[in-house]
Amino acid sequence: MREVCFLIGRDDTILWADATGSAALMPDSRERWEAIWSRRDLIAEVAHSHPIGPLDFSYEDQTTMEALELALGRAIRFSVVAPNGMVARNSACAETALVEDQPWGAELLRAASGMKD
């Protein structure tokens, strides 16, 4: 299993994907920040997986979300997909909410993360 990140566009397409070799950690990378910056006008959501949980944003996730919105100058949606569900925020400072009607990309993110056999 591994953590995976998708940059998702306004039309619900995956603009870029990144994966790590760890099921519990996705450290910042220059390549990811460059991908974000080069697609900054197209990004509507940053989704990533927590293949072994939790179904929540980590402290590192929260600080990264704040930095990203500061750099972009606007709010975007952030989401975490775990084996037992999906949560999202419409901004780094918004409340975390359980996503009942998960988008098609949630299952793809689970599969890419190794959560599905």
pLDDT in tens, 77-98: 999 999 999 999 999 989 999 9
Q: What is the pLDDT of residue 104?
A: 92
Could you state, in order of their start, the residue ranges of all structural domains in the chain?
4-113
**Per-residue model confidence (pLDDT) at position 46:** 97
Which pLDDT value is given to residue 23? 86
Bond prior to 51 in cis (omega within 30° of 0): no
In words, the CATH class of domain 4-113 is alpha beta
Considering only residues 28 and 63, tell me which one the structure prediction assigns the higher pLDDT: 63
Instruction: Tell me if the pTM is above 0.85.
Output: yes
73: how many CB neighbours lie within 10 A of its CB?
7
pLDDT-above-70 percentage for the chain: 99
Beta bridge partners of 77: 45
What SS3 class is residue 116? coil
Under the banding of pLDDT at 50, 70 and 90, the label for residue 117 is: low
Q: Is the pLDDT of residue 107 over 80?
A: yes
Burial, 30: exposed, middle or buried (Cβ in 10 Å; 0-12, 13-18, 19+)? Answer: exposed
- Spatial neighbors of 4 by CB under 8 A, at least 6 apart, are 17, 18, 19, 20, 48, 49, 109, 112, 113
Tens of pLDDT, residues 34-71: 999 999 999 999 999 999 999 999 999 999 999 999 99
